[in-house]
């Protein structure tokens, strides 16, 4: 191999096949069935997707061309006419699902609401008419800055219904972040709420919108629609601001879904690049509908009796694809929760599971690590026996955290789907199909049928088994992002030019390192930007962190490289401890030894710093870039606007 890749040092051998009972009832029932699907899709991806598009979605008009591929720009189902709001709502109204719960919502203070498909359809149609009355038209952009309340989903579906693209901005983002995103997308209208509940306090969202729009900073915005949620006193600017409930009153519920071109823009979702301007990831209509529909169906193995709960915020792609569009397109019951586990109620999530009899639970490793830290007596005190399937997304999950999730939450009964994907991919790419693929703790297992993934070197050559490399996708798929909003050149540069095969093929790469084991299972090793280079060995962060987390005292760990004259870099570990352990010199020594025992001397941390908390993005990902600065004794450089809690950095500087 001519190019440096990443060395793999961790071995995890445990294997967990699904129970016969689970497999029997599952959509995809065996490894053979998965393999057949995979092979069929690989042999003719276009036919594979076209067949599913035909049987699984409703179209106003069939497409002419399945795939038009002008690398790196793809068009799926050109010539087709479709509407995702129709597929999520209207088509269920003529079936028994008409009065099935579409959305079960639980507010943080304990209030709840359930909307059937018929009720949700009615609300969406009315709100779509409100948007129209305010002059929103097909092709316009609408900003959505909302707490986790049903109106967030209603607003998204209403935009989709009339062909306006939504740009949801996470409610935890600041006024400045909101302003930048509204400007970039030239939003015509903003939907928000007076406030939302977060950890027992009100987040004053409308106030942030006012700040973002102050002094005419976003001239494109003509109207602001405000949901009354928290009922604190709220300034309304006459002529610009309107209460949702006022305008929704008496509006017609008749609003047929607009037939959209397959490739019409459905939404923009901004990802914060590590530096510079946020990227507006563009997703379009038909391909995204199909991809989120199929992945939801097969990966979460949705059955009609299930209550399915994804804990993400609608402000992230996981909320778009797996709270709203994927589940509703399948006619599922999707649960939406406003709250977070919090000091005052560490068992909040388990109460929700018990109260609503949740069957499928999809959350993030950062949440699982927080649960571990809070102690297993909280889940143990609740009845979680309704659960039958668990999932994770957002970061690599360390094998020991996986085992805890499996044992304590899943009662050793529930398969875990560790789903690897990105905002850019639209839907899940590498994942177990839970009735078919035996799982290994820490591995996202195998690619979804139709996803031609691989682990390669910089020239696009496959690397050998158990060698680290770059995780890439070699063929377009329906859910892929289409461009960066307003900047197609940035799209090409960011995702399609890092890996350069000699034959000039285009290969999608978005930053993760991985290895494939002898069974073809994928092990994501972390972002390649975070790779640590020790004495000529390039080590991924995930494996060293997993070794640390496998020690009983450790709740969470983040490792970075610290410049070292001799070795290039040395491993520097930031470690948070489980509740009943305290930092000490001895423990630091013991942890270093533990890493050596688990994976070898090469990964031995030169230094261990104990801390109460790690710096994370608002979606819960550890920001190793900042830790690198701290380890090197430098000032923290670059963009810190996505940091969840700035206090964490000050503590870390002080050595905590």
Strands (E), 469-536: 469-473, 483-484, 508-516, 522-527, 532-534
Note whether 439 binds ligand WTA by CB under 6 A.
no
**Is the CB of 173 or the CB of 316 nearer to ligand WTA?**
316
**Using the rule CB under 6 A, which residue among 101, 393, 614, 649 binds ligand WTA?**
393
> Of residues 307, 317, 528, 575, which one binds ligand WTA by CB under 6 A?
317
Instruction: Assess 444 for contact with ligand WTA (CB under 6 A).
Output: yes
Q: What does the alpha-carbon distance between residue 478 and residue 462 come to, in Å, rounded to a whole number?
A: 24
Position 296 contacts ligand WTA (CB under 6 A): no
User: Is 395 known as a binding-site position?
Assistant: yes
DSSP letter for each residue of 192-250: EES-EEETTEEE-HHHHHHHHHGGGS-TT--EEEEE-SS-------TTTEEEHHHHHTT
Map residue 500 onto helix, strand or coil: coil
Distance of alpha carbon 200 from alpha carbon 43, whole angstroms: 53
Verify binding: residue 396, ligand WTA, rule CB under 6 A: yes
Residue nearest to ligand WTA (CB): 423
One residue of 129, 223, 262, 271 binding ligand WTA per CB under 6 A: 271
**Residue listed under structure tokens 């399937």:** 389
Q: Does 642 bind ligand WTA (CB under 6 A)?
A: no
Stretch that binds ligand WTA, among 137-145, 419-427, 455-463, 630-638 (CB under 6 A): 419-427
Q: Which is nearer to ligand WTA, 66 or 317 (CB)?
A: 317
- H helical segments located in 384-519: 399-404, 488-496
CA dist., res. 311 & res. 192, Å (int): 20
CA distance 570 to 573: 10
Locate all alpha helices (DSSP H) within 44-116, ordered by sequence.
45-56, 84-85, 91-93
Q: Name which of residues 511 to 530 contact ligand WTA (CB under 6 A).
A: 511-512, 524, 527
Nearer to ligand WTA, 458 or 588 (CB): 458
**Which of these ranges, 47-55, 60-68, 387-395, 495-503, lies near ligand WTA under the rule CB under 6 A?**
387-395
Does 635 belong to an annotated binding site? no
Six-digit token pair at 481?
Answer: 């992002």
Secondary structure letter of residue 529 according to DSSP: G
CA distances to 77, 159, 208 from 617, rounded to whole Å, are: 36, 28, 19
Which residue number, 142 or 428, has a Cβ lying nearer to ligand WTA? 428
Assess contact for 282 and 479: CB atoms under 8 A: no
Residue-wise DSSP of 590-605: HHHHHHHHHH-GGG-E
Minimum Å gap between C-beta 398 and ligand WTA is 11
Is 357 annotated as ligand-binding? no
In sequence order, the 6+-apart residues with CB closer than 8 A to the CB of 96 are none
In the bound state with ligand WTA, the residue whose beta carbon lies nearer, of 419 and 611, is 419
Which of 194, 261, 418, 457 touches ligand WTA by CB under 6 A? 418
Is position 7 annotated in a ligand binding site?
no
User: Considering beta carbons, is residue 86 or 362 the nearer one to ligand WTA?
Assistant: 362
For the chain, helix (H) and strand (E) counts, in that order, are 22, 30
Q: Which of residues 87, 284, 366, 422 is near ligand WTA by CB under 6 A?
A: 422
Q: Tell whether residue 538 is among the known ligand binding residues.
A: yes
Give whichever of 97 and 515 is closer to ligand WTA, judged by the CB atom. Answer: 515
How many residues sit in the footprint of ligand WTA (CB under 6 A)? 21
Is 318 an interacting residue with respect to ligand WTA (CB under 6 A)? yes
Residues annotated as binding site for CoA?
198-201, 318
Q: What residue ranges bind ligand WTA (CB under 6 A)?
A: 271, 316-318, 393-396, 418-423, 444, 510-512, 524, 527, 619
Residues annotated as binding site for Mg(2+)?
549, 551, 554
Residues annotated as binding site?
198-201, 318, 394-396, 418-423, 512, 527, 538, 549, 551, 554
């Amino acid at each position: 191999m001519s190019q440096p890749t990443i060395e793999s040092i961790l071995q995890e051998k445990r294997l967990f096949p699904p129970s016969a009972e689970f497999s029997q009832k599952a959509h995809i029932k065996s490894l053979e069935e998965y393999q057949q699907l995979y092979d069929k899709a690989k042999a003719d991806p276009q036919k594979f997707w076209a067949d599913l598009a035909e049987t699984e979605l409703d179209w106003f008009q069939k497409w002419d061309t399945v795939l038009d591929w002008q690398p790196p720009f793809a068009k799926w189902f050109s010539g087709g006419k479709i509407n995702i709001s129709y597929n999520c709502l209207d088509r269920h109204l003529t079936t028994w699902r008409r009065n099935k719960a579409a959305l079960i919502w639980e507010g943080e203070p304990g209030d709840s609401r359930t909307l059937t498909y018929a009720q949700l359809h009615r609300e969406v149609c009315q709100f779509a008419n409100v948007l129209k009355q305010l002059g929103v038209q097909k092709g316009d952009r609408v900003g959505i800055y909302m707490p986790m309340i049903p109106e967030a989903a209603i607003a998204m579906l209403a935009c989709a219904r009339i062909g306006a693209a939504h740009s949801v901005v996470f409610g935890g983002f600041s006024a400045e972040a909101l302003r930048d995103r509204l400007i970039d997308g030239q939003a015509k209208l903003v939907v928000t709420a007076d406030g939302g509940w977060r950890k027992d306090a009100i987040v004053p969202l409308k106030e942030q919108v006012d700040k973002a729009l102050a002094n005419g900073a976003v001239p494109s915005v003509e109207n602001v629609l405000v949901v009354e949620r928290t009922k604190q006193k709220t300034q309304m600017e006459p002529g610009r601001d309107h209460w949702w409930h006022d305008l929704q009153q008496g509006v017609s519920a008749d609003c047929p879904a607009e037939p959209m071109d397959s490739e019409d823009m459905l939404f923009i979702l901004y990802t914060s690049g590590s530096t510079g301007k946020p990227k507006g990831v563009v997703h379009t209509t038909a391909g995204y509908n199909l991809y989120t529909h199929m992945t939801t169906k097969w990966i979460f193995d949705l059955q009609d009796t299930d209550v399915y709960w994804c804990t993400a915020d609608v402000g992230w792609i996981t909320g778009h694809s797996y709270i709203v569009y994927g589940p509703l397109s399948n006619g599922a019951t999707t649960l939406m929760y406003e709250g977070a586990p919090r000091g005052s109620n560490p068992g909040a999530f388990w109460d929700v599971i018990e109260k609503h009899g949740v069957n499928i639970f999809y959350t993030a490793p950062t949440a699982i690590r927080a649960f571990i830290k809070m102690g297993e007596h909280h889940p143990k005190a609740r009845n979680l026996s309704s659960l039958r399937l668990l999932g994770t997304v957002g970061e690599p999950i360390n094998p020991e955290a996986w085992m805890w999730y499996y044992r304590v939450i899943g009662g050793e009964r529930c398969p875990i789907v560790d789903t690897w994907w990105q905002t850019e991919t639209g839907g899940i790419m590498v994942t177990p199909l839970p009735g078919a693929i035996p799982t290994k703790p820490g591995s996202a297992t195998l690619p979804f049928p139709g996803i031609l993934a691989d682990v390669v070197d910089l020239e696009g050559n496959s690397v050998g088994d158990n060698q680290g490399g770059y995780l890439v996708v070699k063929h377009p798929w329906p859910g892929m992002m289409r461009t960066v909003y307003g900047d197609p050149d940035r799209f090409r540069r960011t995702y399609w030019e890092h890996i350069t095969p000699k034959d000039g093929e285009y290969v999608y790469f978005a930053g993760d390192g991985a290895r494939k084991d002898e069974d073809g299972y994928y092990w994501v090793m972390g972002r390649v930007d975070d790779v640590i280079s020790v004495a000529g060995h390039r080590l991924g962060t995930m494996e060293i962190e997993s070794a640390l987390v496998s020690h009983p005292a450790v709740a969470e760990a983040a490792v970075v490289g610290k410049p070292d004259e001799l070795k290039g870099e040395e491993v520097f570990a930031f470690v948070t401890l489980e509740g009943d352990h305290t930092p000490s010199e001895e423990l630091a020594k013991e942890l270093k030894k533990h890493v050596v025992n688990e994976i070898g001397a090469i990964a031995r941390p030169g230094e261990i710093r104990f801390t109460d908390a790690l710096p994370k993005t608002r979606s819960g990902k550890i920001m190793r870039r900042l830790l690198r600065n701290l380890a090197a004794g430098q000032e923290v450089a670059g963009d810190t606007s996505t940091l969840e809690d700035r206090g964490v950095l000050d503590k870390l500087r002080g050595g905590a």
